[in-house]
Amino acid sequence: MDKIPYLRKDNFYTNSELSLIMRELNYFTSHNIILSDDAEESGAFSPDMTTKKAMWFNEVYRQQRFSPTWRLADKVLQGPTHEFFDLSPMNRNILDTNTYSLLLSYYENDGFYKRHCDSCHYTALIWFCNPPQKFTGGDLIFHDSNEIVKFNNNTLIIFPSWADHEVTPIKLDAQYENKQMGRYCLSIFFNMEHQN
């Protein structure tokens, strides 16, 4: 197909929002809270799919209000979901979603996520790193359309979850390992829950 109807927003968060988020994300990595190497735990389907570490916000916090990053994830629900809706008829159900789960992933040297699709309706990704960026790679490939979206700090991408995608391997110089200088990705998985 020609193009995946994805939305891209650069400079998504303001500087003050970004500093709140980075303080929390850096705390998670420096205190080893992002623990899971288990592929299923981290949202993948098989262990050879990915080498990232990940954590679900609802397993770390009992309530959204305790986490600045989780609270600020709601910013995606404001303008961007409406812009995404307007992009294509394929995105029509985004405004019918009524629940999301939030996953934080972290990739260091040679970290990758092979080709897969997500088991939800729509996926939003927000990319972060501590400046200046010390790694290469970590780009997103949409295989159905052979599009490559280069990693960029503080960029939001929303796409339909059926789109096959991949994260290319991160190359980080050994001197920057274990120093929070890798690639952070916040994933928002949108779903529809039937309410009685």
Chain residues in the site for Fe ion (CB under 5 A) = 118
Q: How far apart are CB 132 and Fe ion at their closest, in Å?
A: 27
Cβ-based nearer residue to Fe ion, 14 or 146:
146
Distance CA 26, CA 29 (A): 5
Of 108 and 118, the one with the shorter C-beta distance to Fe ion is 118
Note the helical H segments in 35-182. Answer: 57-60, 68-73, 79-87
Whose Cβ is closer to Fe ion: residue 57's or residue 176's?
57
Query: Looking at beta carbons only, is 79 or 161 nearer to Fe ion?
Result: 161
Residue 116 C-beta: closest distance to Fe ion, Å: 6
Burial of 143 (C-beta count, 10 Å sphere; 0-12/13-18/19+): middle
Return the residue nearest Fe ion (CB atom).
118
Q: Look at strands 99-107 and 183-191 and give their pairing.
A: antiparallel
State the minimum distance, in angstroms, from the CB of residue 32 to Fe ion. 24
Both tokens of 71, joined, read 């609270």
Check residue 113 and give left, alpha or beta (phi > 0: left; psi -120 to 50: alpha). Answer: beta
CB of 30 to Fe ion, least distance (A): 25
